[in-house]
Amino acid sequence: CVQRFIVKNALFGMGNPLLDISAVVDKDFLDKYGLKPNDQILAEEKHKALFDEIVQKSKVEYHAGGSTQNSVKIAQWMIQEPHKVATFFGCIGTDHFGEILKQKAAEACVDAHYYEQSQEPTGTCAACITGDNRSLVANLAAANCYNKEKHLDVDRNWSLVEKARVYYIAGFFLTVSPESILKVAKHASDNNKIFGLNLSAPFISQFFKEPLMKVMPYVDIIFGNETEAATFAKEQGFETEDIAEIARRVQSLPKVNKNRQRIVVFTQGREDTVATVGDKVKMFPVLDIDQNHIVDTNGAGDAFVGGFLSELVQEKPLEECIRAGHYAANVIIRRVGCTFPEKPDFQ
């Protein structure tokens, strides 16, 4: 049996640490706050009361969340040993919710280094669940206060960035600190390390196009789902809705580090995952699951990336990374929130 050698802090993630507040709601609740059944949005003034209302629901659950934090946590769970292979940076408040996030990160054996400030409370994300749909409303609050100069640039923090060989940031963080993303992405590119980015949500491609396209030349692996891929294609004027063609076009966008061909990975729920393999586009079927076993699809995309990264950091081939991603997503959708059993049984 081959001894896996994975160094601590080999995987670096940076993003919006949020406390997920999930509850089953009805259509009236969605309509009241103008929500689509399956969407991710940032909270506006009209959503303020939603957070108070959802907490009053009969079965409300709290889970440590935030897209990137979920992914690195799942990657760490898949790897198991050593602890703290995954590093995470993000901003929280000096409050009860912040303490919960610190505790949950420690329980997940993730090496979290939060930038803590008292101006804004810890960010929350309301997961409004109806059937197997989930509508996410994020109130970034503290997460929005991440400060490059006061955290990322500090020597003891930057040294953790330098230790990593795989980097992953969800597109959501483009709304917070594009300059932090660029610094990390350039470091990866200059040192021939791997930088991954997620399209995260349609609104990123629509309203944060400029920072997204500024970082794109440094992106080695781009993740997204079918809706995000279609929105990106539309915004970029690709004039195609064919997902394989979109993957091809995204792969051929300008790239700084020519030593690595960009890899594009688009998930499609229960449909095949689409990925570029060299100059080809291939389809990878997901694991079968009885619809009755699906409890909560929230976090499936994050879990896929986490599984993928757990193999990538061990320098496994792309096919293995995707297989691990499918496994992790299959585990997560059987449970509420982005939670997992004690140990994986991925073979």
Q: Are strands 221-225 and 194-198 parallel, antiparallel or unpaired?
A: parallel
Query: Which of 279, 288, 302, 345 is flagged as catalytic?
Result: 302
- Collapsing DSSP states into helix, strand and coil, what is residue 283? strand
| Pick from 193, 317, 233, 329: nearest CA to 273 | 329
C-alpha to C-alpha distance for 298 and 45, rounded to whole angstroms: 24
Q: Is 302 a catalytic residue?
A: yes
In the chain, where do the E strands start and end? 11-14, 18-24, 39-42, 61-65, 86-93, 111-117, 124-130, 133-139, 166-170, 194-198, 221-225, 263-268, 271-277, 280-284
- CA of residue 290 relative to chain centroid, distance: 25
Phi, psi of 42 (to 5 degrees): -90, 140
Phi, psi of 153 (to 5 degrees): -75, -15
Residue 2, both tokens: 């081959």
> How far separated are the first and last CA of the chain, in Å rounded?
13
DSSP string, 98-144: HHHHHHHHHHTT-EEEEEEESSSPPPEEEEEEETTEEEEEEE-GGGG
Residue 159, both tokens: 């040294």
Residue 200's contacts (CB-CB under 8 Å, 6 or more residues apart) are: 40, 67, 170, 171, 172, 224, 228
Q: Judge contact between 176 and 138, C-beta under 8 A.
A: no
Residues annotated catalytic, as ranges? 302
